[in-house]
Structure 1
Amino acid sequence: MELAQVRLLVDDFAACYRFYGEVLGLKPQSGATDGPYEKFSPAVGSAGIALQDRAMMAGLLDELGDSAAGHRSLVVLRVDALNAYCEEITLRGATILHGPAPLTERMRVAHLKDPEGNVVELQEWLLLRG
């Protein structure tokens, strides 16, 4: 397992994009200034900070109009075999809320919450950037 990123769930994507890119000087991965997702990388190191539109995540977790408006961040962990890992942690007491399911052509994801209600995303990368 590998820590892939810490993702901030935001309402004003453009303002946060400007802050992390222009004010802090982190390098955006794709230039998606209007979102709904962008990863920023520091000059040194491999993990980064990502921004995601809060409403998009609420829709994915089927929590629109519910507690999703309160989610501020989530931890993203990369695993090699998503289905097997989800089965393993379910046997240890985890409850999978979403997935495993494709998110893009490059990855499959599953979502769960820790005992405090913090969102955890598990990712299986299918294709790496070339």
Structure 2
Amino acid sequence: MELTQVRLLVTDFPAVYRFYRDVLGLKPQFEAEHGPYAKLSPDSGNAAVALQDRAQLAHVLAELGAEPTGYRALLVLRVDDLDAVYAELVSRGAEFSGPPAPMGDRIRVAYLTDPEGNLVELQEWLALRG
């Protein structure tokens, strides 16, 4: 078994697509600003975030509601320099819930949400698990 992506179900596809492409700087596998599907990746690694138009999937999965409530996903992106990435994303219009802060003694984190309310955690590793 191989994990290929984390897929977010979204209602405002263009806004969420632009957030991950323009604000977070993920690279689209192909241009698809209006959906119904897109896959975006960071510069390194094999991981990817995929976006799926919620209404399109609702035609396949009848139990999928039109509007979810609360956080539906937490996307974690590791960065080398959290302070630099935080400043860069703020300059692109990102609004964080607060400045970078430690989470225990091994990582620092900062949180923001995408236009659909999915929670995004940026994390900088301070120490590897030993």
> Could you tell me the TM-score, scaled by structure 2's length?
0.50
**Which structure dedicates a bigger proportion of its chain to strand?**
1
